[in-house]
Structure 1
Amino acid sequence: MINRRAAIALAAASTLAVQTSWAATSEPQSTPDTAFAALSQRALAHWIAVSPITATFQGDHHLDAELDDLSPAGRAKALAGSQRLLAELDRIDVARLSRENQVDAAILRNQLRYDVWGWQDSQDWAWDPQVYGQAAGNALYNLMAREFAPLPERLGNAVTRMEKLPAFLAQARANLDPARVPRVHAETVAKQNGGLLSLVDEFIAPHLGSLPEAERKRADAAIAGLKAAVAEHQQWLDKTLVPNAKGDFRIGAKLYDQKLQFALMSSLSRAEIRARAEKGIDEARAEMYRIARGLVKDLPAEPTAEQQQSGIEAALELAYAERPKRDAVVADATATLKQARQFLIDKDLITVPSDPVRIITMPEFQQGVAVAYCDSPGPLDVGQPTFYAVSPIPKDWSDAQVDSFLREYNSRMIHLLSIHEGIPGHYLEGAVTARFPSTLRAFLRSGLFAEGWAVYGERMMRESGYLDNDPLFHLVQLKFYLRTMANAILDQGVHVEGWTRDQAMDLMMRRTFQQEREAAGKWVRAQLSSAQLPTYFVGVQEQLDMREAVRAAWGSKFTLKAYHDAVLSHGAPPVRFTRELLLNEPIR
């Protein structure tokens, strides 16, 4: 999951001058490029003021003791700032900018318009309690999870933020209108709320003994105040918000189409995405059946629809038989990440970074949305580790639910998960693209690029011979690819077409062979989010189209390593911009 990243401060100016392609140069101050450089810095300064919590994540630590202001005055200030910056961008002659700055200008314009749309049209602050729950957790987690500064400094800022969190939670209660809040959002946040105190227990409490007595007393008081505030907020969630949550989780066609364009910056419309995904599912199922015929006896060459279904299911059962133990998912993810890394090196497919990566158990306040995610450090937190977070199996699941989960995340699927979240997926891409070519582009990292690259990596690894002698790996990789197409269809089915749970489960469990626990979790995720699930499919479609276009243009000079390194050297803008830069096409 890619968050908007924004961070700049006066003390960081020298760092930005090194890291950005638009930093101050010997050019006269009146040139379009220098005007855009100044505007970019003002935009970053605006975002850090709007969201100190996000700034901490990005690696700017000058407001690490502050929280976001989502009061009416704070929201009005944020909206006015984005509108002012848009007006300034309109006064710059974008056609006279360098090609890289033309890309950054397009990304900046889109983000500012997205900001305005969010404050005025979407208004998540009024109906989505996740806005506050995730922010509160990240306010502490992003301070303490990485050692970007001495412990006493980070601990002091965490204490200050804990002192301010009761007011932040009260702000959430004031802003949220139960009549607009979907019940699934209310229930999810009610389950996650206690995770805020788990963060205190894990990351803060163990270090309090190192503090001087006065600071220890202040920290104890802050923790006590936070515990009381979390308890008060939990009572409000359970007694007021959940029972009275009457909002529709479906955002509707108008808002969905608007959000889709902002989130993807793709030329594909909703209808085109749906048509490509439907066709892709049919093609992938046909290939899966071809593989199944080599694994299962007596499957007909020309199957009926039911014969195709049962034949693929029978072959997948062979893969499901090999799965990790309940408590071994993290250990298996660690081993497969190492194996994928060595394969890339041995095959010389891409330049592999040495940035540290750690596999961790997903923090409680993040659980309930995805099985795994990659948490890359902010572009200014150079040298800090990437976290590959894996959600534990809930303790209250029945044996049947655990079995369903482990059938989905069988041993071969764990390989693909490590490829997607780790290497050459999100970890590798995030480590490399944050360095090029501008800090602005790193902060506005495209979810479409990131997710498309990760899915592309799954296919590229298999095509390059990873587990080459294992047809079941190919079968499971195709099943994982089916999931990306189902994601795209599910998202618009839920938010535009009014799909029921039964329709969603049929797509996931029958057409794309997902297990019940995976499908049930994705049904919840589709309700909790919008316009994120299509990024996987649309992104990989554009990544594959770009590779073939560059292969044709480069001819005999094309190698996968040269291509992959060139792609990532442009950062992670929406894929179409990388393609235009590589092929020297006009920036559109």
Structure 2
Amino acid sequence: MRHSLLALSLLAVLAGCQPSTAPATVDSPAAATTAATQGEADQAFAALADRALATWFEQSPISATRTGEHRHDDRVDDLSAEGRQRVVDANRALLAGLDAIDASQLSRDNQVDALLLRNRLEATIWNVETLQSWAWDPLLYNGLAGGAIYNLMAREFAPLPERLASATARMEALPTLLAQMRANLDPARVPKVHAETVSRQNRGLLSLVDQFITPHAGSLEGKARTRLDAAVAGLRTAVDEHQAWIDGTLVPNAAGDFRIGAALFDQKLGYSLNASLSREEIRQRAQAEIVRVREEMYAIAQNVLKDRDGAPALPATPEDAQQQAAIEAALELAYAERPARDAVFDFARQTLETATTFTREHDLVTVPDAPVRIIEMPEFQRGVAVAYCDSPGPLDKGLETYYAISPIPDDWSDDQATSFLREYNDRMIHLLSIHEGVPGHYLEGAHSVGHPSTLRAVLRSGPFAEGWAVYTEEVMAQAGYLDHDPLFRLVQLKFYLRSVANAILDIGVHVDGWEREQAMELMVRTTFQQESEAAGKWIRAQVSSAQLPTYFVGAQEHFDMRRAVEAKRGDAFDLKTYHDEVLSKGAPPVRFVRQLILDEPIG
């Protein structure tokens, strides 16, 4: 999972875009006219992006910090009714400016960026006015409040005293943000699962203070130290009061439906994916993939269970129950090899090194030297995903990428921990390090940020990023990772089935009205997930929408694009060259990368 602390934010973050293609060669009067027209259009688009940058960084200072723009580090977002209206007005003005530009006269790269900009402008207006997540999703505010501190303190983009001064100002402002949350939320519209999740996460804001602020308070003196201490004390009081409101008012009265329904889902899915596949096309393709992948898993099970004592029946043409039993029995062999409860982080570091070395030795893609570090997931972000990759903002150069893992809770029983570790067994952690690290999210982010268009870097496509990470799992397996270990291939296919199931689950929950039993049947039986993993995903499906399909849709687009490029280039196709070329495009939706590489019309 490529993580952004601002995934729940109301406010889109834009950055300036510079034309990334040279002007057309002028060799005739007609060509001269066209080149001049293109230059004017590109200049107008660059100016529009600059205006968006100045306006929206000012409106969303927490997002600005995350992106690497630090002129507003001492402020937080305004989510009051007046603040939301300013966002809508600004988006409409920018959209009008975009409408005034003749997109056909833009360079091909700027044609892509203009479509990205339009999608985000329209999505933000729709979010505020139609989806209205500000009125029913408390997790939006929790993500902003945590990001306000975390984005300042997690990376050393400026001297510590400067960041502490900004953090002091933000801690002084955060009680107002929490008050806006209480004023905006209508408990009758807030789903119970959202309220209960934010109740568990709320005090994580103070854990950020304890981790990043108080240990360094001694570096300040005089008025700066006095002001910081007062801000910390005020925030602790505000968080305690907010917790009392969450537990005393929000949770007991939360009565909203977590299902957003077909109409809203389809609109949100369109903005989220920015792809050509419809909901029904996604479902049909995912269902076909489940059948195909289970057949391959059964073939592997036949191989690894052959002549093994106590193995189930392994007929050439199995019935459903026989296929299920064989695959489960083969997976048990992989589950038996798992790290100790206290060794997950050490093993993850080892697997990241192994995956990085393999990628380099097999010349699969250029591996950058940018730093990456495995960390414990901050408390305020837990409860949605087991792991994520947190790259530095595109304007912050040379800073660390974090591969974050949620620790096994101390209060979990041995049975709960065992269930978790059966899912995250040795081979699965190898896959997690491939997906989140190399050649997955970390590597993709390190490449993509080098594209000249900052706008594209900021508006990076979720399906591109998630699809790339899933795609690379297959690349590594086909290249012979872990010496063509059949159990690694089996677990990799199971991991892939999770991405397939994610798409079906999201549609089932938010459109088809699935209850927990249907969701668990898909995850536990059909796609072989452990009970603990499936239970966590059930919560994630309730508190999010239109994000879970990004893995499957993005991966299918990556697979389709590679086949198309291989077919066009034939014997001249080189895998490393292709991967580097794909990643050089700055992570827009995959369809645009395909159009750029194959020289197809943009759209």
TM bucket (normalised to shorter chain) is: over 0.9
2:585 aligned with 1:555: no
> Which residue of the partner structure matches residue 502 of structure 1?
517
> Which residue of the partner structure matches residue 12 of structure 1?
none
Taking a change above 3 Å as real, the CA distance of residues 20 and 405 of structure 1, as seen in their structure-2 partners, is: farther
> How far apart, CA to CA, are the structure 2 residues paired with 1:176 and 1:225?
23
> Which residue of the partner structure matches residue 371 of structure 1?
386
Letter in 1 for 2:485: D
2:46 aligned with 1:21: no
Report the Cα offset of residue 539 of structure 1.
Answer: 0.3
2:451 aligned with 1:442: no
Q: Aligned with 2:404: secondary structure?
A: strand
> How far apart, CA to CA, are the structure 2 residues paired with 1:406 and 1:116?
43
Matches within 5 A, 1:150-229: 150-229=159-238
Bigger shift: 225-234 or 343-352? 343-352
Matches within 5 A, 1:447-526: 447-526=462-541
Taking a change above 3 Å as real, the CA distance of residues 27 and 353 of structure 1, as seen in their structure-2 partners, is: farther
Letter in 1 for 2:69: D
> Residues 543 and 575 of structure 1 are in contact (CA less than 8 Å); yes or no, is this contact kept in structure 2?
yes
> Which residue of the partner structure matches residue 77 of structure 1?
86
> Residues 288 and 475 of structure 1 are in contact (CA less than 8 Å); yes or no, is this contact kept in structure 2?
yes
> How far apart, CA to CA, are the structure 1 residues paired with 2:362 and 2:398?
26
> How far apart, CA to CA, are the structure 1 residues paired with 2:284 and 2:90?
39
> Residues 23 and 39 of structure 2 are in contact (CA less than 8 Å); yes or no, is this contact kept in structure 1?
no
1:38-63 Cα distance to aligned partner (Å, 9 max, x none): 11111222321221101100000000
> Which residue of the partner structure matches residue 11 of structure 1?
none
How many residues are paired up?
580
> How far apart, CA to CA, are the structure 1 residues paired with 2:575 and 2:529?
32
1:130 to 92, 114, 139: 139
> How far apart, CA to CA, are the structure 2 residues paired with 1:420 and 1:47?
32
Taking a change above 3 Å as real, the CA distance of residues 112 and 7 of structure 1, as seen in their structure-2 partners, is: closer
> Which residue of the partner structure matches residue 6 of structure 1?
13
Letter in 2 for 1:70: L
1:158-206 Cα distance to aligned partner (Å, 9 max, x none): 0110011111101110011101000000000000001000000010101
For structure 1, list consecutive stretches of 5 or more residues without a partner in the other structure. 9-15
Taking a change above 3 Å as real, the CA distance of residues 421 and 333 of structure 1, as seen in their structure-2 partners, is: same
Letter in 1 for 2:299: R
1:287-324 Cα distance to aligned partner (Å, 9 max, x none): 00000001113521111100000000000000000001
> Which residue of the partner structure matches residue 343 of structure 1?
358
Moved runs in structure 1, 4+ residues, more than 4 A?
2-5, 22-30
> Residues 168 and 228 of structure 2 are in contact (CA less than 8 Å); yes or no, is this contact kept in structure 1?
yes
> How far apart, CA to CA, are the structure 2 residues paired with 1:358 and 1:469?
28
Letter in 2 for 1:515: Q
Bigger shift: 40-49 or 72-81? 40-49
> How far apart, CA to CA, are the structure 2 residues paired with 1:366 and 1:48?
23
> How far apart, CA to CA, are the structure 1 residues paired with 2:59 and 2:168?
21
Report the Cα offset of residue 556 of structure 1.
Answer: 1.7
Report the Cα offset of residue 30 of structure 1.
Answer: 7.0
1:313 to 328, 333, 341: 328
> How far apart, CA to CA, are the structure 1 residues paired with 2:466 and 2:224?
43
> How far apart, CA to CA, are the structure 1 residues paired with 2:227 and 2:100?
50
2:341 to 317, 326, 329: 326
1:340-379 Cα distance to aligned partner (Å, 9 max, x none): 1111111111111111001000000000000000000000
Normalized against structure 1, the TM-score is what? 0.96
Report the Cα offset of residue 29 of structure 1.
Answer: 10
Letter in 1 for 2:303: G
> Residues 441 and 571 of structure 1 are in contact (CA less than 8 Å); yes or no, is this contact kept in structure 2?
yes
Bigger shift: 543-552 or 48-57? 48-57
Q: Aligned with 2:402: secondary structure?
A: strand
1:295 to 277, 293, 304: 304
> How far apart, CA to CA, are the structure 1 residues paired with 2:261 and 2:491?
34
Q: Aligned with 2:349: secondary structure?
A: helix
> How far apart, CA to CA, are the structure 1 residues paired with 2:414 and 2:547?
31
Report the Cα offset of residue 20 of structure 1.
Answer: 6.2
> Which residue of the partner structure matches residue 561 of structure 2?
546
Letter in 2 for 1:364: E
Matches within 5 A, 1:365-404: 365-404=380-419
2:269 to 240, 260, 268: 260
Letter in 2 for 1:45: A
> Residues 24 and 34 of structure 1 are in contact (CA less than 8 Å); yes or no, is this contact kept in structure 2?
no
For structure 2, list consecutive stretches of 5 or more residues without a partner in the other structure. 25-34, 307-312
> How far apart, CA to CA, are the structure 2 residues paired with 1:487 and 1:280?
12
Report the Cα offset of residue 23 of structure 1.
Answer: 11
Q: Aligned with 2:481: secondary structure?
A: coil
> Which residue of the partner structure matches residue 147 of structure 1?
156
> Which residue of the partner structure matches residue 107 of structure 2?
98
2:430 to 415, 422, 440: 415
> How far apart, CA to CA, are the structure 1 residues paired with 2:436 and 2:305?
31
> How far apart, CA to CA, are the structure 1 residues paired with 2:139 and 2:55?
23
1:424 to 435, 439, 444: 439
Report the Cα offset of residue 136 of structure 1.
Answer: 0.3
> Residues 21 and 107 of structure 2 are in contact (CA less than 8 Å); yes or no, is this contact kept in structure 1?
no
Q: Aligned with 1:467: secondary structure?
A: helix
> How far apart, CA to CA, are the structure 2 residues paired with 1:79 and 1:518?
39
Aligned-residue identity in percent: 65
Taking a change above 3 Å as real, the CA distance of residues 222 and 311 of structure 1, as seen in their structure-2 partners, is: same
> Residues 29 and 35 of structure 1 are in contact (CA less than 8 Å); yes or no, is this contact kept in structure 2?
no
Report the Cα offset of residue 27 of structure 1.
Answer: 7.2
> How far apart, CA to CA, are the structure 2 residues paired with 1:22 and 1:237?
52
> How far apart, CA to CA, are the structure 1 residues paired with 2:22 and 2:59?
23
Taking a change above 3 Å as real, the CA distance of residues 34 and 23 of structure 1, as seen in their structure-2 partners, is: farther
Taking a change above 3 Å as real, the CA distance of residues 385 and 20 of structure 1, as seen in their structure-2 partners, is: farther
